[in-house]
Amino acid sequence: MGSQISWGNQFGSIPKTPRVEAYLGRLHSRHGYIRASELDDAAMATYGAAV
């Protein structure tokens, strides 16, 4: 759910309100989110971005 809100906020389909920004700040600081981002970045470096 959080990644969908983050994606929608990034691309403008979910507005950048203070409440949403606060939620995303908490989400992005979670250990699991950070680790998943690191794994995703490593996979993109190895395999390239999906097209």
User: Do 2 and 27 meet the contact criterion of CB atoms below 8 Å apart?
Assistant: yes
What's the length of the chain? 51
Among 18, 19, 24, which residue's Cα sits nearest to residue 3? 24
* 3 state SS of 6: helix
Residues with Cβ within 8 Å of residue 16, at least 6 apart in sequence: 9
Distance CA 42, CA 25 (A): 23
Average pLDDT over residues 30-48: 94
Average pLDDT taken over every residue of the chain: 93
pTM (2 decimals)? 0.74
Domain span at 30: 2-47
Q: How many domains does the chain have?
A: 1
The proportion of the chain whose per-residue pLDDT surpasses 70, expressed as a percent, equals: 98
